[in-house]
Amino acid sequence: MDKQAITIYDVARQAEVSMATVSRVVNGNPNVKPSTRKKVLEVIEKLDYRPNAVARGLASKKTTTIGVIIPDISNAFFSSLALGIDDIATMYKYNISLANSDGDAQKELTVFNTLLAKQMDGIIFMGRRITDEMLEGFSRTYIPIVLAGTIDPKGEIPSVNIDYRSASKDAISLLVSHGNEKIAFVSGALIDPINKQRMNGYEDVFLENRHLSYSEGLVFETNYSFEKGKELAKHVKNAGTTACYVTDDELAIGLMDGLLDLGVAIPEEIEIITSNNSALTEFVRPRISSITQPLYDLGAVAMRLLTKLMNKEEVEERNVILPYDIEEKGSTRKV
C-alpha cells in the first residue's frame, strides 16, 4: 500500500473499528477501551499512518502547531530564543511554524495574519517593538499570544524578559567603577521599548553620580549590524570615549573591529560591554564582556507559559522576569 495514500479509513478497516474510534485514539481521547486502543495503535504503526494535522484540527479545534514570529533569524539573540522555544514545544508535542519578518512592520503583520489563517493554537512573538497595528491584531485574535524578549509598554500581553533597565544600569556602573567618565551608549532604534529601558538605566547612573556629565554626543543610535558598528568606530573615538555600552552583540563586534582598525587598544583605551552574551561574544579576540541574558531560557519559559495559556492552566505570573548577570571577559579591564 502506498504510504502517501494511507488514510484514516485504511486504519479503521484493518483495525476493524470505526473511523471515529481511530480519531479518538489519535487525539488522545480517554473514552476508548485499552484493548481497542492497543489494536488501533498497532495498525497505525504497521501502516506508518501520519494523521493530517489540519484534518485533526477540524475535529478537535486544535492543530498542535505554534506560530513563532521572529524579526531576524540570523541574529544570535533571536535564534537562541527560538532554540529554547523549539525544545519545549517538542517536549509538549507541539509543532513549530516559524515566520521570519525581516524586522519589517508590514511583513510582520502579514505573517501574523497568515499564521492565524493556518489555525495556530498559539503564537510567540519576538520583535524589537510592537506597532499599533500589531497590537490591534493581537487584541482581535482569540488564541493566546506570548512575547519573548519583547516588551509590551502597557504590560497587557504575557511576556518573558529580564529587567533591561537594571541590567543596563549595572553594566554602566561597572564601567564607572573602572574610572571611566566618558561612557558611550551605542544602540539600535531608541524608539524600541527595550532600548528605552536600557537608556533609562544609562541615565540613572548619571543622575546618581553627580561627578559624571551626561552628554548627548555620547549617545549613538544606529541599525543592528556588524557594518554599522564598524562605521560608528571613528565617531565613538572622536567623541573622546573611554568605554562603551552596546545594546546588540553583532553591533558591538563591529564597533570593536572598527576601533581596532583605528589602532585603539581594547580594553586599555576603550572598554566595551554588550547586552546579550550570545555565542558571538566568544568568537572574537578579545572576547567581549556582556550582560548574561538567559537567552535559551527566555524562549523556553515563553513556550511553557504559552502551553499553560493554551490549556487554560493556572498562571501565577503573566509577565515573567528572569535573572541576569554580568560576565567580564577581555574587552573590559581587570581592576
pLDDT number for residue 79: 87
pLDDT number for residue 27: 66
Quick one: which of 330, 220, 192 has its CA closest to 273?
Answer: 330
3-state SS, residue 329: coil
3-state SS, residue 271: strand
Q: Could you give the percent of the chain with pLDDT greater than 90?
A: 61
Angstrom CA distances, 191 to 42, 194, 198, 304, stand at 57, 9, 11, 29
* Lowest mean pLDDT, pick from 23-27, 146-150, 314-318: 23-27
3-state SS, residue 186: strand
Quick one: which of 188, 178, 185 has its CA closest to 236?
Answer: 185
The answer to whether 11 and 40 have CB atoms below 8 angstroms apart is yes
b vs e for 260-282, b when ≥16 Cβ sit within 10 Å of the residue's Cβ? beeebebbeebbbbbbbbbebbe
pLDDT number for residue 40: 87
Number of DSSP helices (H) and strands (E) in the chain, helices first = 12, 12
The mean pLDDT of 3-25, rounded to a whole number, is: 79
Residue type, 218: L
User: Do the bridges between strand 183-187 and strand 243-246 make them parallel or antiparallel, or are there none, so unpaired?
Assistant: parallel
pTM assigned to the model: 0.80
How many CA atoms does the CB half-sphere of 236 hold within 13 Å? 34
The mean pLDDT of 309-327, rounded to a whole number, is: 94
Higher per-residue pLDDT: 1 or 57: 57
Is residue 56 scored above 60 in pLDDT? no
Is residue 59 scored above 80 in pLDDT? no
The mean pLDDT of 36-40, rounded to a whole number, is: 87
Confidence of residue 1 (pLDDT cuts 50, 70, 90): very low
The mean pLDDT of the chain is 89
229-272 tens-digit pLDDT: 999 999 999 999 999 999 999 999 999 999 999 999 999 999 99
Confidence of residue 37 (pLDDT cuts 50, 70, 90): confident
Residue 17 in grid coordinates:
473499528
b vs e for 73-83, b when ≥16 Cβ sit within 10 Å of the residue's Cβ? eebbbbbbbbe
d(CA 251, CA 294): 19
Higher per-residue pLDDT: 265 or 314: 265
How many CA atoms does the CB half-sphere of 107 hold within 13 Å? 11
Angstrom CA distances, 184 to 37, 115, 168, 172, 227, stand at 65, 40, 12, 9, 18
pLDDT number for residue 300: 95
99-158 tens-digit pLDDT: 888 888 888 888 888 888 788 899 999 988 898 889 888 988 889 999 999 999 888 999
pLDDT number for residue 116: 85
pLDDT number for residue 320: 96
Is residue 178 scored above 50 in pLDDT? yes
Is residue 328 scored above 90 in pLDDT? yes
pLDDT number for residue 3: 45
Is residue 54 scored above 60 in pLDDT? no
Quick one: which of 314, 299, 306, 317 has its CA closest to 65?
Answer: 306
Quick one: which of 303, 324, 312 has its CA closest to 93?
Answer: 303
b vs e for 234-243, b when ≥16 Cβ sit within 10 Å of the residue's Cβ? eebbeeebbb
In degrees, to the nearest 5, what angle opens at C-alpha 137 toward C-alphas 132 and 64? 140
The answer to whether 66 and 95 have CB atoms below 8 angstroms apart is yes
